[in-house]
């Protein structure tokens, strides 16, 4: 079953749980309810929303991720489920014992797939060829930082009609990009926790203050999916982080992708990605299986 993504953005809203149903009230009146077990991601984006402790606990127990947004409407924190998975101790030992050569090979696979996806959304034929050339140059561990070179090519022609500079604090559409990345990050973190993996133990990202380093690693090939959607929104005149644009970015979780010769929503494929990562660490899989969606970008010919 496809888990639901629910966003709460109305003022004076309260969330509570009764009989494992999430009840939503606004201004003292019931406006909806949904089974906790059907929720994959809950996004709370309003400073006046209140919720009981039980609400957060039951969401976590059912494997849902709760994303808390700040006054800038961007995710500021996540509540992720870490308890209740009997595989956690075994998978934690597996993550800790991963060898350096294997870690580097996995990072090579991640970077190569990310670059191929950047090439897929590139509208400039010359720059697209350069990005594809970068994909061929990625070595184990990416010691030459080919990822950064491909990123420079990617952003140079991302929005040619705009003098665009990528950065968290830059002008739009950076806010849209940040919001989209945070949604994908939350979904990846949820899948990792569901597979008994600890999201802190990353492949490449290793900042000691980053509680979601592994999620940041595995979401890298999915960033171009956000880039493409944000570019579509920008060109359609939807250039701010608001209800309509957030809804469009949330729909990425149901974006059709291919994995294991099957097509389905991205949210389901992320669970398979997490399982594939376990197989990669244990030696049961020779390559990381990453969701493929390049053929669904629907780019103009």
Tens-place pLDDT, residues 164-200? 888 767 788 999 999 999 999 988 988 888 787 888 8
236: pLDDT confidence band, cut at 50, 70 and 90?
very high
Please tell me the predicted confidence (pLDDT) of residue 78.
Answer: 79
Please tell me the predicted confidence (pLDDT) of residue 86.
Answer: 59
- CATH superfamily of this structure's domain 88-296: CRISPR-associated endonuclease Cas1, C-terminal domain (1.20.120.920)
pTM above 0.85, yes or no: no
- Residue extent(s) of CATH 3.100.10.20 domains in the chain: 4-79
Alpha-carbon span 114 to 290, nearest angstrom: 10
Q: To the nearest whole number, what is the mean pLDDT of the chain?
A: 89
Tens-place pLDDT, residues 6-29? 888 877 899 999 999 999 999 888
Please tell me the predicted confidence (pLDDT) of residue 301.
Answer: 35
Alpha-carbon span 191 to 7, nearest angstrom: 19
Which residue, chain included where needed, has tokens 């034929």? 125
219: pLDDT confidence band, cut at 50, 70 and 90?
very high
Please tell me the predicted confidence (pLDDT) of residue 300.
Answer: 43
4-79 CATH? 3.100.10.20
Please tell me the predicted confidence (pLDDT) of residue 2.
Answer: 66
- Residue extent(s) of CATH 1.20.120.920 domains in the chain: 88-296
**Residues near 238 by Cβ (< 8 Å), separated by ≥ 6?**
244, 245, 248
């Amino acid at each position: 079953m496809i888990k639901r993504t629910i966003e709460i953005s109305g003022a004076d809203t309260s969330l509570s749980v009764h009989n494992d149903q999430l009840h939503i009230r606004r201004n003292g009146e019931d406006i909806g309810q949904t089974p906790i077990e059907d929720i994959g991601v809950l996004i709370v984006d309003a400073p006046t929303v209140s919720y009981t402790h039980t609400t957060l606990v039951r969401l976590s127990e059912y494997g849902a991720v709760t994303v808390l947004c700040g006054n800038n409407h961007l995710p500021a924190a996540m509540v992720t489920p870490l308890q209740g998975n009997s595989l956690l101790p075994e998978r934690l030992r597996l993550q800790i014992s991963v060898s350096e050569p294997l870690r580097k090979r996995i990072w090579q696979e991640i970077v190569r797939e990310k670059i191929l996806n950047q090439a897929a959304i590139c509208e400039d034929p010359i720059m697209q060829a350069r990005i594809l050339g970068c994909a061929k140059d990625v070595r184990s561990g990416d010691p030459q930082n080919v990822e950064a070179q491909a990123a420079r090519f990617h952003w140079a022609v991302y929005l040619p009609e705009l003098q665009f500079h990528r950065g968290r604090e830059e002008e739009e559409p950076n806010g849209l990009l940040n919001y989209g990345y945070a949604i994908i990050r939350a979904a990846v973190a949820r899948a990792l926790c569901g597979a008994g993996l600890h999201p802190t133990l990353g492949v490449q990202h290793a900042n000691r203050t980053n509680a979601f380093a592994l999620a940041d690693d595995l979401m890298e090939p999915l960033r171009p999916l956000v880039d493409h959607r944000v570019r579509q929104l920008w060109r359609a005149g939807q250039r701010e982080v608001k209800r309509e644009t957030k809804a469009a970015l949330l729909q990425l979780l149901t974006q059709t992708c291919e994995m294991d010769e099957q097509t389905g929503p991205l949210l389901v494929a992320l669970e398979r990605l997490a399982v594939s990562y376990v197989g990669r660490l244990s030696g049961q899989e020779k390559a990381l299986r990453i969701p493929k969606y390049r053929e669904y970008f629907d780019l103009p010919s």
